[in-house]
Amino acid sequence: MTRLLLVAGFALLTACGNTDTPSAAVSAQVEAPASDDETAVVKKRSGIALENIDHATRPQDDFFRYANGAWMDKTEIPPDEVRYGSWTEVRERNEERLKSVLEEAAATDSEPGSDLQKIGDFYTSYMDEARADELGLEALREELGHIEAASTHDDLIPLFGRNMWLDLGAPFDYYVDRDRGDTSRNLFYLWQGGLGMPDRDYYLEDDEKFVTMRAGYVDYADKLLSLAGHEDSRAAAEAILALETRIAEIHWDKLRVRDRIETYNLMPADKLAELAPGFDWGTYLEAAGLASAAEINFSTPSFFTDFGALWTGVPVDDWKSYLTLHLIDGFAYQLSQPFFDARFEFRGRVLRGQEQSRPRWEYALQNANALLQDAIGRIYLERFFPPEADRRMRVMVDNLKEAYSRSIEELDWMQPETKAEAQKKLAALRVYVGYPEYFEDYSAVDILPDDLLGNMIRGTRSDYQRDLDDLGQPPRKGQFLIGTQQVNAYILPTASELVFLAGALQPPFFDLEADDAVNYGAIGSAIGHEMLHAFDDQGRKIDEKGELRDWWAAEDAEEYERRAQKMIDQYSAYEPIEGLNINGELTLGENIGDHAGLTMAFRGYQLSLDGKPSEVIDGFTGEQRFFMGYAGVWRLIAREEFMREQITSDPHSPSRYRVIGVVSNMPEFYEAFGVKEGDGHWRAPADRVKIW
C-alpha cells in the first residue's frame, strides 16, 4: 500500500501476535538478566543517559534542556542529516543491522526465485553505480516514449492512469484500505495529488522561504528536463510551476484532509463522470487497472470536480513536460549521477536543508524495505528480536490498556453511554508487537542483479497490482503497513490495530536491560499515544468495528472542545522560530495524544509497581526516571529549514514542545520533581489541561 497511509507518530517496538484480551493489571516482574556470577543479585540499571543531563538547568524550569542539554551542547548535526537525535541514532544502529542482512544476502548463492535471492540481487543492482552511470536515462526510455507519443489531451489520460502503476502521484494519488463504511472489504481511496513540492502552501504562501523553494523547484525542473534533452527547459519548468500552482489552488488544506468523514465519499465508478465532468474517467480507470472496480472513494471530491474543469485549459505540451519531470524525479536516485545530484540538490538541500547526500547503500536499503518489505522483515525478526523483549512489552501493553480502562471510567466529562462505547473500542483494540500475522508473497516479482530501474519498476508495479487484487476482498488481520524492521509504530483505526514494529525495540525507546520506569516513560508513552488515537477527535468518528460512526454524545463533544481549546491556545503560544508559532489547531490531535499517552503510561507504571514504592536508582526515584525516559526519547536538534517545514505541515509539535508542553500540564510531574509556583513549568491548576 502506498504512502499517504498514516500516522507514524511515535515509534517503537517488539514481538508476536496480538494481546487483545482485556486483562487485570499485570505486574511486571523484574527478571535478573543472565549473569556470569550465579550468586549475584543483578539489579536493573536505570537506563537514563546521565551524561546527557545539563546540571546547570533545573528540571522544574526547562525539563527538556535538563534531561538533554549536555548532549545538545556537544552535538552537531551531521552534514547529511536535517536533524539529529535519539531517533537518528536508533535508525542508524538499525540500518547497520539491515545493511548486514542485505550484504550477506548479496554474498550468498541462493536459490533463484527465493526471497534471499531477490534481496541480494536487488542490493547488487542498486550498488552497481557504474552501470547506472553508463545507462544514464536509457533505462527510462520506454516510459519516456509513451509521454513523447502523446499529442492530444485524450492521449494524456492513459498516461495519468499509467502513473498509478509507477506510484508517481501525478496527478492523482491513492491508497487501498478498509472501507470506512463497511470494514469487511478493501476499498480504493483516490486522493488529490499532482504536486512536486510537499504541500499547497509551498505554492501559495508569500513567505520568503516558500518563494526561495519555488525558485529552487523551477531550477530543479529545468535541470532534469535539460538533462533529458528538452529544447526549452527553462520555459517548460516555469510552465510546470504555473500548472502545479493551479493544482495547489484546488487542493484541500491539511486540516481538511485529516477529517475522516469529509474524506469518505463512496461513489459508484460509473458516476465519476457526473461528479467530475470534463475528464474521461472510463479511460482513466481502465489505464489505472480499475476498470472492474464497482465503487471508488473520492476522498477530496471538489478537487476532482475542479480538476475536470481546469485540465484541458493547460496546453498538451505543458502536461508532457509535467509528466516527464515527475517520471524522472520519481526515479532520479536510480539514474546516473547528474540526475541523482539534481534531485538531491532540490529535495535534500533546498527543501530540507540537508548538506550532503547519504551513502548509496542507505538508498538501496530504503528501497529494498519498500519493495521487499516482509521478506526482509522475516529475516530481521529471526535475527534481532529476543523473546524476552516480547514478553515485557506485552505486560506493558496490558497495563496501558488497564490504565485507559480505569481512566475512562473516572472521566468527569464523558456520558456513561459514551464511556461504554469507549470501553468496547478499547477491548476490540488488537496490539501487535513485532510479528505480523501475514507476510507478503514476492514470488511474482523478478529481481535481476544488473537491472536496477527494471527492478524498481517491476517492484512498484507489483506492489500496485497487489493493492488492486485486494480490492473488494476482506482485509487481512495483522498485515503490517510498514515493515517490522523499521523504527516506527502506527495505529490503523479502521482495523482497530495498533502496531509496534520490531525495529523500534531498542534503547532509548525500549531497553531490555533497564528497570521498568524508564521504559514506561519511553515506549510506554508511545503505546499510550497511539492508543489514544482510537478515542480522540478523529477516533471518536470510528466505532469498535472500525466503521464510521460518531459514538460521542453532543455534551461530550462540547466539553471536550472546551478543554481542547485550552490546549490549542497553549501550543499556539509557543514560538520555536522567531515569527513562526506552532499551529495549535493542526497539532491538537497529536498534542492530546502525547498528553494522554504519558498520563496513561504513568498509570501503567504505577500498576506495574502494584502498590510498592519505586526504587531509587542513580539518584532518581522511579517516577523521576519515568519522566527522564520520556524526555530522552525526544532528544533532538534540527536545522531551521527542517523545523520550518515541520511547523508548517507536520501535525506533530517539534520535539522540545512534545516534552515541555506535556509535563507542564501533568500534576504527576509537579509531584515527581517538586514544581512550585514561579518555576518555569508552573501553570496554575486552573490553567492545566486535563482531558483524559
**Least gap, CB of 6 to Zn ion (angstroms):** 9
The only residue of 171, 459, 528, 593 in contact with Zn ion, by rule CB under 5 A: 593
For residue 382, the one-letter residue type is: E
Interhelix angle 373-384/360-371, nearest 10 degrees: 100
**Least gap, CB of 590 to Zn ion (angstroms):** 5
Closer to Zn ion at the Cβ: 258 or 349?
Answer: 258
Report yes or no: 612 and 532 within 8 Å, Cβ to Cβ: no
Q: Encode 187-213: b = buried (16+ Cβ within 10 Å), e = exposed.
A: bbbbbbbbbbbbbbbbbeeeeeebeeb
Q: Give the residue ranges of DSSP H helices in 108-232.
A: 115-127, 129-135, 141-148, 153-165, 201-204, 208-227
Specify the DSSP element, H or E, that contains 389: helix 387-410
Closer to Zn ion at the Cβ: 421 or 536?
Answer: 536
Closer to Zn ion at the Cβ: 7 or 389?
Answer: 7
Window of 3-11, 47-55, 77-85, 163-171 that interacts with Zn ion by CB under 5 A? 3-11
Window of 101-109, 480-488, 503-511, 587-595 that interacts with Zn ion by CB under 5 A? 587-595
Is residue 436 a contact point for Zn ion (CB under 5 A)? no
Is residue 528 a contact point for Zn ion (CB under 5 A)? no
Find the residue with minimal CB distance to Zn ion: 9
Q: How far apart are CA 636 and CA 152, in angstroms?
A: 51
Closer to Zn ion at the Cβ: 69 or 593?
Answer: 593
**Least gap, CB of 249 to Zn ion (angstroms):** 29
**Least gap, CB of 426 to Zn ion (angstroms):** 17
Closer to Zn ion at the Cβ: 339 or 490?
Answer: 490
* Pairing of β 295-298 and β 430-433: unpaired
Closer to Zn ion at the Cβ: 320 or 425?
Answer: 425
DSSP state of 654: P
Q: How far apart are CA 397 and CA 4, in angstroms?
A: 27
Closer to Zn ion at the Cβ: 653 or 665?
Answer: 653
Closer to Zn ion at the Cβ: 11 or 239?
Answer: 11
Q: Where are the beta strands (DSSP E) in 577-624?
A: none
Window of 328-336, 364-372, 520-528, 592-600 that interacts with Zn ion by CB under 5 A? 592-600
**Least gap, CB of 510 to Zn ion (angstroms):** 18
Report yes or no: 423 and 469 within 8 Å, Cβ to Cβ: no
Cβ atoms within 10 Å, residue 28: 23
**Least gap, CB of 424 to Zn ion (angstroms):** 22
Q: Give the residue ranges of DSSP H helices in 268-359.
A: 272-275, 281-287, 301-310, 316-331, 337-343, 351-352
Report yes or no: 481 and 440 within 8 Å, Cβ to Cβ: no
Closer to Zn ion at the Cβ: 228 or 498?
Answer: 498
Window of 7-15, 141-149, 161-169, 283-291 that interacts with Zn ion by CB under 5 A? 7-15
Window of 6-14, 94-102, 225-233, 624-632 that interacts with Zn ion by CB under 5 A? 6-14
**Least gap, CB of 9 to Zn ion (angstroms):** 3
C-alpha cell at 114: 527465493
Interhelix angle 63-74/655-663, nearest 10 degrees: 150
Q: Residue 689: which of 603, 618, 584, 614 has the closest Cα? A: 584
Q: How far apart are CA 595 and CA 690, in angstroms?
A: 9
| Interface pattern 545-584 for Zn ion (x via CB under 5 A) | ----------------------------------------
Closer to Zn ion at the Cβ: 9 or 289?
Answer: 9
Size of the site for Zn ion (CB under 5 A): 3
**Least gap, CB of 200 to Zn ion (angstroms):** 22
**Least gap, CB of 131 to Zn ion (angstroms):** 42
**Least gap, CB of 523 to Zn ion (angstroms):** 14
Is residue 9 a contact point for Zn ion (CB under 5 A)? yes
Site residues for Zn ion per CB under 5 A: 9, 590, 593
